[in-house]
Amino acid sequence: MATSWKTRLIHPAVSAPEGFRSLATPVHRGSTTLFSRAAEAQDNWNQEVAPYSYGLYGTPTTLELAARIGELEGANHTLMTPGGQAAIALVYLAFSRSGGHVLVPESIYGPSRDLAIDMLAGLQIEIEFYDPLVGSRIAELFRPNTQLIWCENPGSVTMEVQDVAAIAAAARSHGIVTALDNTYAAGVLFDAFANGADVTMQALTKYVGGHSDLLLGTVSVRDPGHYERLGRAHQLLGMAVSPDECSLALRGLQTLGVRLAHLEQSTLAIANWLADRPEIALVLHPALESCPGHKLWKRDFSGSASVFSIVFRDDFSEQEIGRFVDALKLFKIGYSWGGVTSLAVPYPTQRRFRPYGDRLVRLNIGLEDADDLIADLESAFAKLAAPTGAGTDCSRP
């Protein structure tokens, strides 16, 4: 059938030759996906029922990344989300209902706390915060309407290591879902499912992406019933992800092992150096005995990552600590972690349940030379001790 050139722009009769093979996963973009016959057309989020029904539910690029994350975590199903916070929201909304009770550790990621307080409270879901070191005593907090328990291991600022196995065992005996934010461990340094978690999520934004240039999250499960609840909520919330972002994350997976090993070595060297500094009262790194829950880290983790916190002595003011952070050159001021660049952020008003006051600074160690980062920190300490102006002496004994 003869067609005009305008129609051939949409329906070409030519294509590239077949047979191209590459080490890179192709980037498949698309909103509308095509069916062979009218009888096959159905709007279904579950790829096991209808592999490709609409681009919202994933393209081959998206689903390959989800499958690879699931494989690493030992999950049966993994769903992609537009970011870590979206993954957290998906879990909250899939497993808590109006009139329910949700337990959240005091050490939880700040935006997760805000979501619980601001949004879930408006949906008549009661949020109760608990000491992250509570372990099996979590059962004392259970109510008949408790629906969900969150864990974060370790806490992303105050770094408490939780006894996830004990919490999950207590929850399971009462039919309560246990969800874990496993971002610190990149899904590989801590085996969430072996320790009893029902649902595990992570922000691929961090270690899997690895370069501070993408936003993605995942939620993984083993139980088919949990998968159904999450999948339906995922569909209704329209949590589409970009295949371009997924392509970057697939590339990041290839170097994840090398980066984690390097980051662990550099971070431990810097954390141990900071532990000997006279200005520092406490180093909150899970691999150091000074960190709450350190023995649990030794029992449960196969390694440590790049983020940790330091607590200044109590005679340093918030302004002085801000001046220390401002004096850093290689460390940039910014949130998140897991990228190639070292970061420093003060947390003056966060997590008041531990007596750190305004003296906590979180560090992320990047891929710079560890000796250069130590020199940068040493220079900032020296400026912190120097007088700031006439008649002012901020020196320390």
DSSP for 169-202 reads HHHHTTT-EEEEE-TTTTTTSB-TTTTT-SEEEE
DSSP E strands in the chain: the ranges are 77-81, 101-105, 126-130, 146-152, 177-181, 199-203, 217-221, 280-284, 307-312, 343-346, 360-364
CA end-to-end distance (rounded Å), the chain = 90
- Provide the pLDDT confidence category of residue 393 given band limits of 50, 70 and 90: very low
pLDDT digits (tens, 9 = 90+) for 74-88: 999 999 999 999 999
**Looking at residue 395, what is its pLDDT?**
34
- Beta carbons of 207 and 66 less than 8 angstroms apart: no
CB atoms inside a 10 Å sphere around CB 48: 10
CA–CA distance, 377 with 329 (Å, rounded to integer): 9
Cα dist from 10 to 2, 13, 29, 36, whole Å: 14, 10, 16, 18
- Beta carbons of 79 and 55 less than 8 angstroms apart: no
**Looking at residue 355, what is its pLDDT?**
79
**Greater pLDDT, 333 or 156:** 333
77-106 burial, b at 16+ Cβ within 10 Å, e below that, comes to: bbbbbbbbbbbbbbbbbbbbeeebbbbbbb
Is it the case that residue 392 has pLDDT exceeding 50? no
- Beta carbons of 220 and 91 less than 8 angstroms apart: no
Is it the case that residue 60 has pLDDT exceeding 50? yes
pTM of the model: 0.92
- Beta carbons of 385 and 395 less than 8 angstroms apart: yes
| C-alpha closest to that of 112 among 92, 132, 138 | 92
Average predicted confidence (pLDDT) for the chain:
93
| C-alpha closest to that of 185 among 131, 135, 256, 136 | 256
| C-alpha closest to that of 96 among 128, 135, 66 | 128
Is it the case that residue 156 has pLDDT exceeding 60? yes
Cα dist from 47 to 43, 60, 235, whole Å: 11, 11, 12
pLDDT digits (tens, 9 = 90+) for 174-207: 999 999 999 999 999 999 999 999 999 999 999 9
Looking at the DSSP bridge assignments, the partners of residue 177 are: 148
Domains and CATH numbers, the chain: 52-250 (3.40.640.10), 255-385 (3.90.1150.10)
pLDDT digits (tens, 9 = 90+) for 278-330: 999 999 999 999 999 999 999 999 999 999 999 999 999 999 999 999 999 99
Is it the case that residue 251 has pLDDT exceeding 60? yes
**Looking at residue 353, what is its pLDDT?**
65
| C-alpha closest to that of 68 among 333, 247, 318 | 247
Is it the case that residue 394 has pLDDT exceeding 80? no
Is it the case that residue 390 has pLDDT exceeding 60? no
Looking at the DSSP bridge assignments, the partners of residue 346 are: 361
**Greater pLDDT, 356 or 152:** 152
Residue 352 C-alpha from the chain's centroid: 22
Q: What are 323's two structure tokens?
A: 């001046």
Q: What are 105's two structure tokens?
A: 């550790």
19-23, 146-150, 245-249: which range is least confident on average?
Answer: 19-23
